[in-house]
Amino acid sequence: MQSDDQELRDKLARLGKNLAWAWDAEAQSVFRDLDPVRWEEGGHDPTAQLAALTDADLETSARAHDLHPRVDRLLLEHAHYLERRTDWGPVRAGVLAGGPVAYFSAEFGLHESLPIYSGGLGVLSGDHVKSASDLGVPLVAVGLLYAGGYFTQHFDETGWQHETYPTVDPELQPLTAVLDADGEPLRIHLSTREGDLHAGVWEAHVGRVRLFLLDSDVLENDEQDRGLTARLYGGDRRMRARQELLLGVGGVRALHAMGIRPAVFHLNEGHSAFAPLEAARELMEREGRGFHDACFEVASRTVFTTHTPVPAGHDRFDPGLVEQQLGPLRDALGISEHDLFALGRVRPDDGGESFCMTVLALKLSHRANGVSALHGRVSRKMWTCLWPGRPEQDVPIGHITNGVHLPTWLAPAMARVYDEALPLGWRRAQAEPETWAPIEQVDDRTLWTARTSLKEELIRFVRHRSPERARKRGEDESVAEALESALSADRLLIGFARRFATYKRAGLVLDDLERLDSLVNHPQRPLTLVFAGKAHPKDDGGKALLQRVFQVSRDPRFVGKVVLLEGYDMAVGRKLVSGVDVWLNNPRRPLEASGTSGQKVVLNGGLNCSIPDGWWAEAYDGHNGFSIGTGGVHMDPAVQDARDAVDLMHALEEEVVPLYYDRDQHGLPHRWLGRVRRSIATLSWRFNSDRMVRDYAAGLYLPAAGLKLADFRHL
């Protein structure tokens, strides 16, 4: 008996060691079944779950939940998944196997138990890697391991955000130290003008993709450098520059040290834009090429994705700082300070211009893209200065619209609806429009039952977390009690969750509280709102917005009807995107490059109500959701905000609320569900990350590698 349990424990540990469990519903339910309470309290962490489990507990749950055969089946399926040769990647893009794509990103949002992401960019990187794995597109990923992760959020009794930093202990994560040829932990060494910097490398298995995370917390470094990778987006400019040195230059060196020769470099955002410089240096060393020749060669194999038109999203450094960190690399490249700085400047000879990582990335990549059609246009306009004399439409920045990883974001209750309605193998054919057409035949009752169960699940979650947190922060007992019966499955539920960056305008719907009161407390057609989100620790404007939402949620008119959930992360995100009726998105156009949370809502049968910005500008067809206004912009943001606030109220009052409460004799909202079906049919196939990665592979990776997509009629 004893050895049986040890064997089961080993198998579970093996299952937890590949992050593929994080998008396998059955694997998650196996880990949950070991101890459901601890699973929730421990943040859905298999390693922690197993470590805390006594042998006796394991034996009991193994018997109660039939774990032995379930785990065996999962391991078998997983082994099959790793070997699958029939996916899109091996069939169409198999030629890339000669040299993988090296995908660089400062953050990866793979699962809430590995908090090395802050928001949309990280979640997108995670989704990209997962789809590359599912499709079998040869790709390795490179990032940083943040020992203090991204923060955990707490509000005080006034609603002001406070941050605590978790400890990301690599030993307690599904990470393995990469070893060198002698079996010692691999070390990467970088020299700067202020001394050497060293790093170790951790490897995570994300399905079929290997993710390498550099970690400066090694004995060879001094105290300060050991803390270099302590926090994501923390510290001062010097720390940021040194992190980016580690990510870009260190990342290329790490791949080299492991014998990985990428065919293509993909810089996901400008943080990693130093990478091509190191790749050029290697090429010069290996083949004795000159700097310009080597740079051209590397640039032809480099893809750059820009993610925001917001100025704060583009790293800028003082040139002195760049020389301080990159000086020795510059020496090796044999170029002058002027030539190095010129690479990060729009006007090479302007000594007053700072060094911009986006400019560097655009100059060192021959293929660049924005993340939606509109963002592509905005980016071309923004960067015409780099191609003087060229008409805007000829600026070489294209677009690939973001998508989301279906198995990560689709809730089981809706997955069951699709299993019934869609053709066999629909998941693997998710990027084809035909796959989704049969959704139009699903009857109202089936759809509504699934939707209601997801909404009830979210409401249970809110009713558990909100009063608990209110009591913890010492709020009045009457508030806590009201929160125990917050929201209601009978009422229209609108969700808003994202980073509280000011351009996302979380406060827009609170602009006119009288009018909101009449909507929320309408006697026949009430409306409820649930908010969540984090503000950057240094963004007092974002924190003030959170506080405003918090205070409205404590206004007697709104208690239990407007709720602010503490601690937005991927777990809270999954609950919200699957449980709400409507997802509200009201950024100041055109500042939302894409946005992806609304795409998660589509998969789960909710409807989007959004400003036509980012992905929604190309997604909305008049019948598959709701539009707030028609995309007007104004030079004065205050004017634009005021107009949009009015348009938002108008959309809610005139369209969203009436449609939701328009019921047939069975109490079903027939026309609403028609819109849900249309949303699923027209949007699911386009805005998933399988489609996105296929677009990257066919449109950018293969051409960058000098290869072509296989025409599968010839296979």
Ligand X SMILES: *Cc1c(COP(=O)(O)O)cnc(C)c1O
Residues that bind ligand X (CB under 6 A): 119-120, 123, 498, 568-570, 573, 595-597
CB of 22 to ligand X, least distance (A): 13
CB of 654 to ligand X, least distance (A): 25
Torsion angle of the four alpha carbons 93, 600, 569, 693, in this order, in degrees rounded to the nearest 10: 10
Report the alpha-carbon angle 171-111-29, nearest 5. 95
Name which of 116 and 482 has its Cβ closer to ligand X.
116
Question: Which residues contact residue 629 at a Cβ distance below 8 angstroms, ignoring those fewer than 6 apart?
Answer: 611, 612, 643, 644, 647, 648, 651
Two tokens at 603? 């998969």
Question: Which residues contact residue 173 at a Cβ distance below 8 angstroms, ignoring those fewer than 6 apart?
Answer: 47, 113, 114, 202, 204
**DSSP-derived 3-state class of residue 689:** helix
CB of 369 to ligand X, least distance (A): 17
Per-residue DSSP letters for 403-420? -B-HHHH--HHHHHHHHH
CB of 636 to ligand X, least distance (A): 25
Name which of 210 and 504 has its Cβ closer to ligand X.
504
Whose tokens are 């609320």? That residue is: 657
Name which of 570 and 619 has its Cβ closer to ligand X.
570
Q: Position 275: which residue type?
A: A
Closest CA relative to residue 88, chosen from 406, 369, 423, 430 = 430
Two tokens at 523? 């006697």
Helices and strands counted in the chain (H then E): 32, 20
Distances (CA, A) of 43 to 37, 462, 598: 10, 16, 24
Name which of 447 and 591 has its Cβ closer to ligand X.
591
Name which of 120 and 251 has its Cβ closer to ligand X.
120
Name which of 302 and 578 has its Cβ closer to ligand X.
578
Name which of 216 and 596 has its Cβ closer to ligand X.
596
d(CA 8, CA 11): 5
Name which of 123 and 564 has its Cβ closer to ligand X.
123
Closest CA relative to residue 611, chosen from 582, 631, 625 = 631
CB of 709 to ligand X, least distance (A): 29
Report the alpha-carbon angle 466-660-587, nearest 5. 65
Name which of 291 and 503 has its Cβ closer to ligand X.
503
CB of 399 to ligand X, least distance (A): 16
Terminus-to-terminus CA distance in the chain, angstroms? 51
Q: Omega into 276 within 30° of 0, i.e. cis?
A: no
Name which of 597 and 689 has its Cβ closer to ligand X.
597
DSSP H/E element including 228? none
Name which of 19 and 326 has its Cβ closer to ligand X.
19
Per-residue DSSP letters for 239-269? HHHHHHHIIIIIHHHHHHHTT---SEEEEES
CB of 534 to ligand X, least distance (A): 8
Name which of 262 and 598 has its Cβ closer to ligand X.
598
Question: What is the phi-psi region of residue 139: left when phi exceeds 0, alpha when psi lies from -120 to 50, beta otherwise?
Answer: beta
d(CA 377, CA 291): 32
Name which of 242 and 498 has its Cβ closer to ligand X.
498
The β-bridge partners of 199 are: 188
CB of 74 to ligand X, least distance (A): 25
CB of 597 to ligand X, least distance (A): 3
Name which of 192 and 689 has its Cβ closer to ligand X.
689
CB of 504 to ligand X, least distance (A): 7
CB of 596 to ligand X, least distance (A): 4
CB of 505 to ligand X, least distance (A): 12
Q: Is the dihedral of CA 130, 133, 135, 140 positive or negative?
A: positive
HEC assignment per residue over 141-160 = EEEECCCCCCCEEEECCCCC
Name which of 325 and 372 has its Cβ closer to ligand X.
372
Question: Which residues contact residue 422 at a Cβ distance below 8 angstroms, ignoring those fewer than 6 apart?
Answer: 435, 436, 438, 439
Contact 399, 335 (CB under 8 A): no
Q: Position 527: which residue type?
A: L
d(CA 446, CA 679): 16
Contact 379, 391 (CB under 8 A): no
Contact 456, 464 (CB under 8 A): no
CB of 3 to ligand X, least distance (A): 41
Closest CA relative to residue 250, chosen from 204, 214, 286 = 214
CB of 498 to ligand X, least distance (A): 3
CB of 600 to ligand X, least distance (A): 6
Name which of 278 and 644 has its Cβ closer to ligand X.
644
CB of 568 to ligand X, least distance (A): 6
Contact 619, 374 (CB under 8 A): no
**Beta strand 195-206 pairing with 175-177:** antiparallel
